[in-house]
């Protein structure tokens, strides 16, 4: 993983904070929200660079790239949460089998 730091204006920072708050409402962590915003900016720049004369199409593609990027990060976060829940479930199931065995309750596997 690479860390990046740079200076931005107060106005830009306030806009980013508003976006972060919107991402948090959708369940993103602050770090994931920053990552999504940064990635959306890269996608928007690439689309603008590749299609300088197609304003309407470009706006649509930027919007779609932004939505896809946000969905991708949300999916990553949900997959991570799912993995954690699966690990916890396996632990609880194992503990349950142990307790049943200790109490002499028949365990069907």
pLDDT-derived band at 109 (thresholds 50, 70, 90) equals low
In a domain? residue 101: no
Please check whether residue 74 is in contact with residue 28, taking contact to mean a CB–CB distance below 8 angstroms.
yes
Between the CA atoms of 6, 55, 23 and 19, what dihedral angle is there, to the nearest 10 degrees? Answer: 50
Please check whether residue 93 is in contact with residue 43, taking contact to mean a CB–CB distance below 8 angstroms.
no
pLDDT at 45 over 90: no
| Alpha-carbon span 62 to 44, nearest angstrom | 5
In a domain? residue 107: no
In a domain? residue 86: no
In a domain? residue 67: yes
pLDDT-derived band at 84 (thresholds 50, 70, 90) equals very high
Please check whether residue 74 is in contact with residue 25, taking contact to mean a CB–CB distance below 8 angstroms.
no
In a domain? residue 90: no
In a domain? residue 64: yes
Q: Residue 52's domain spans which residues?
A: 10-81
Query: What is the predicted pLDDT for the residue at 6?
Result: 78
Query: What is the predicted pLDDT for the residue at 52?
Result: 63
Query: What is the predicted pLDDT for the residue at 31?
Result: 85
Kindly report the pTM of this predicted structure: 0.45
Please check whether residue 73 is in contact with residue 20, taking contact to mean a CB–CB distance below 8 angstroms.
no
Query: What is the predicted pLDDT for the residue at 8?
Result: 84
52-77 per-position pLDDT tens digit:
666 667 677 777 887 787 788 888 88
Q: Report, in this order, helix, strand and coil percent for the chain, each rounded to 5.
A: 80, 0, 20
In a domain? residue 98: no
How many domains does the chain contain in total?
1
């Amino acid at each position: 993983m690479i860390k990046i730091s740079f200076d931005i204006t107060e106005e830009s920072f306030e806009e980013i904070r508003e976006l972060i708050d919107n991402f948090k409402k959708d369940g993103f962590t602050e770090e994931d929200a920053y990552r999504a915003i940064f990635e959306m900016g890269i996608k928007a720049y690439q689309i603008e660079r590749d299609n300088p004369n197609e304003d309407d199409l470009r706006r649509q593609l930027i919007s779609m790239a932004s939505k896809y990027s946000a969905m991708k990060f949300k999916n990553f976060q949900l997959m991570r949460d799912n993995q954690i829940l699966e690990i916890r479930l396996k632990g609880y199931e194992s503990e349950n089998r142990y307790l049943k065995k200790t109490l002499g309750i028949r365990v069907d596997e």
